[in-house]
Amino acid sequence: MTLSGLIALIIFFAAIFASLKGWISQKLFPMQVALLLASAIIIITGLALGEKINPSQIITGTFLHPITATIAGFILAGALKSAGAFEAASGWIQKLQNSFLGVPFAVIVLINIPTLLAMPCGRVWVSPLIPVALTLGFELARKSEDKRMPVIIISGLVINAAASCGPSLIGGIGLIGEGMGRYPSGSFSDHMQFAIMFMTSFAMILSKYLYNETVSERMYDLQSIGEKQEPLEHGAFSLVLFISVIVGTIIIKPAMPVQTILIITTFLIMIIAGLGFDDLVRGIILHPLTAMISGFIAAGTLSMFGGFDVLVYVLGYISEHTPLGYVGVSILLVYLPVFLPLPCGRIIAVSLIPGVLMFGEHVAQMAGSIRIQEVMIVCFILSGAASCGPSPLGGIGSIGEGRLRLKSSTGRFLSLSIFMAVPIAGFSVGVLGLSAETLSKGFLIEAVITGLISGLVTNFLTVKKIFHPGGLIGGLIVSLLMLVL
C-alpha cells in the first residue's frame, strides 16, 4: 500500500460522492469536469510525493471498446430513425398489441432483447430500442391511464441493456471474469442472463412503486406529433436488416468487431433509404460519451497510483480487524460496483477481479466449498456489468433519463434492482455450478421458472392481470431462447 495510492483513492471517492450528492454544483462543474480536475489533483499529488508518472499508463486505463460501441450504436440509431425504422417498429408493436398475445408479449420481448441478443456493450441496443420503447410506453400510458408506464418500460429496458454486457459471448464483461479466473468460456452466461430477467422485473416493479416522477405532458404532446408521421418506405426493411444482422452476428460469431458490423449496416441503410451524413450525426448524444471518457481517465489515474490495490488492502484489513470478517467484506466487495457506479463495468471488473478471487478463496476455505469462489466472481461480474445502468457518469440510465426528460435520477431504484437480482445469479451458480455446457435439465427448469415469473410480473404491470397468455408465452420464449443462443 502506498501513500499516493491512498490519497488518490480518497480524492477519487471524494470527487464522485461530491458530484453525486450535489456538493459540487453540476451547473458550475459538470461531472466530466469534476473527474478531470480530480485526475489532475491526483497527478499533482503523486508528483509532489515523488512518484514516477507515465501518461501512457493512464491512457491504457481507457477502454475504447465501450466508447466505440456507443458511437456505432448512436450512428446506427440515427440512420434507423431517419429511415423510419422506429415508425415501422411501432406499427408492428401495434399489430402485436391487437393480437391475442397483446401488450405483455410486446413488452417482455422488447425489454429483454438486449440480454437475449447480448452485445458487448448494452449501449448498442439502447440507442435504437429506446424510441420503440417510448412509443410503447406512451401508448400504454394512454390506455391504462398510468403515467408511470414510459418510466416503467424504459427502466426495464435500461437495466436489461446495462447488464447485458455481462453475459455477452462476443466480448462481454463475463469473458473478463472467465479469462482472469480461468473458468470455462461462456460458463457465466446463462446464470447471468436469467438473473438479468429477474433484475428487469425488479426494476419495473420498483419504478412503479418507488419512483414518484412522471413524464411531463409536453413529452406526450411530442410523442403524439411523432405518431402522426407517415411510415417511411424503407423503415421496415431497415429494421429487418438491423435485426437480422444482429441475430446473424450472435449465431455466426464472425471474427469481426461488432462496431464494424454496425457501421456496415448503417452504410447499407444509408444507401437503401438515401440518407446523408447529417441524418447519422443526429443520433449522437455527446454527454454519455464525454462522461465515459472522463471516468476512464480518472480510473486510469487511480489505477496508475495503485488506488485499486489500496482498496483491496483496506478491504483485507477490515475483514481481519472488524466483526465483518471475510464473509461480510466479500458481500461488500460483490456490491462495490453498485456503490461506485462507473460508466463502464470493465474498469472495476479488471481492477478488482484479483481481489475478488483472493477473497473468494478465503471464504471458500472457511466454508469448505470451492463453489463459493465461483458464486462470488459471477455475482461481482453481474454487479459490475449492471452498474453502468445507475451510473451518473454517463451510464446507460442517463440515456433513458435524457430521453424521458426526467429531472430526478433513476439510479437509486436501478441500483436496488441490481442488489435484489445479484443473489439470484449466485444461487443459480451454487446449485447448478459452472459449465460451458448448459443444455441440461437443471438449466431448463431454471429457464422455465424465470420465464414464467418474468411473464407474471409483466402481465401484472402492463394489464393488471397476473394470468395473461402474452406475458407467460413471451417470458418462456425469451428464457428458452436465452438457453439456446
Partner 1 sequence: MKDIIKKINAALFAFIVFYLGFIGFRAFSSGYPFSLICYNCKSCDSVCVIGIDPQGFMAASIVDDPDIYVYVTNYRIYAGEAEKLDPDMIIQTHDRKLSISKALRDGTVTRDSEVITYKMKARHAANICIECAACERVCPVKLPILDVVKGLKNKESGAGK
Partner 2 sequence: MSNKYINYFFIILLITLIIHFGRKAYTEFFPGEYPMVVATAKLEFTAGENELNLKLSGTTKNGNIIIYAYGPDGNFYGMLKPVKDLSIKVRKGDNADFMVQIYGREIGKISFMKKMDRYIRKVDMYDLIIEARKHEWNYGVQNCLYPVCTRCTDGCKSVVSIERLPMIMSVMDNGEIMPVFRKGGCPRCGKCIVWCPSGVIQKETQPWER
| Binding of partner 2 by 366 (CB under 8 A) | no
Residues 20 and 73: their CA atoms lie apart, in Å, by 27
Neighbour count for residue 256 (Cβ, 10 Å): 12
Coil/strand/helix, residue 464: coil
The 3-state DSSP composition of the chain as helix, strand, coil percent (nearest 5) reads: 75, 0, 25
Apex 174 CA angle, 168 and 180, nearest 5 = 145
Residue pair 124/164 in contact by the 8 Å Cβ criterion: no
Nearer Cβ to partner 1 (344/463): 344
Which does residue 55 bind out of partner 2, partner 1, none, counting CB within 5 to 8 angstroms by kind? partner 1
| Binding of partner 2 by 21 (CB under 8 A) | no
Per-residue contact track with partner 2, 297 to 336, x per CB under 8 A? Answer: ----------------------------------------
Reading the block at residue 196, the C-alpha cell is 438479468
Residue pair 425/450 in contact by the 8 Å Cβ criterion: no
Q: Min. distance of Cβ 319 from partner 2 in angstroms? A: 16
Residues 184 and 410: their CA atoms lie apart, in Å, by 35
Q: Which residues within the stretch 83-112 sit at the binding site for partner 2 (CB under 8 A)?
A: 92
Nearest to 168 by CA among 208, 113, 224, 221: 113
Q: Min. distance of Cβ 447 from partner 2 in angstroms? A: 26
Q: Min. distance of Cβ 256 from partner 1 in angstroms? A: 7
Per-residue contact track with partner 1, 18 to 57, x per CB under 8 A? Answer: ----------xxx-xx--xx--------------x-xxxx
Q: Min. distance of Cβ 380 from partner 1 in angstroms? A: 14
| Binding of partner 2 by 361 (CB under 8 A) | yes
Residue pair 404/150 in contact by the 8 Å Cβ criterion: yes
Q: Which residues within the stretch 151-210 sit at the binding site for partner 1 (CB under 8 A)?
A: 170-172, 175-176, 178-183, 185
Radius of gyration of the chain (CA): 22
Neighbour count for residue 466 (Cβ, 10 Å): 12
| Binding of partner 2 by 354 (CB under 8 A) | yes
Apex 381 CA angle, 304 and 327, nearest 5 = 90
Among 16, 67, 129, 476, which residue sits at the site for partner 1 (rule: CB under 8 A)? 67
Backbone phi and psi for residue 381, each to the nearest 5 degrees, phi listed first: -65, -40
Among 151, 162, 192, 236, which residue sits at the site for partner 2 (rule: CB under 8 A)? 236
Place of cell 391475442: 100
| Binding of partner 1 by 313 (CB under 8 A) | no
Q: Min. distance of Cβ 353 from partner 2 in angstroms? A: 7
Q: Min. distance of Cβ 201 from partner 2 in angstroms? A: 30
Reading the block at residue 223, the C-alpha cell is 410523442
Run of H or E including 274: none
Among 17, 98, 185, 248, which residue sits at the site for partner 2 (rule: CB under 8 A)? 248
Contacts with partner 2 by CB under 8 A lie at: 92, 180-183, 236-237, 240-241, 244-245, 248, 252, 254, 353-354, 357-358, 361, 370
* Contacting residues toward partner 1, per CB under 8 A: 28-30, 32-33, 36-37, 52, 54-57, 59-60, 62-65, 67-68, 120, 170-172, 175-176, 178-183, 185, 253, 255-257, 259, 290, 293-294, 297, 309, 346, 350
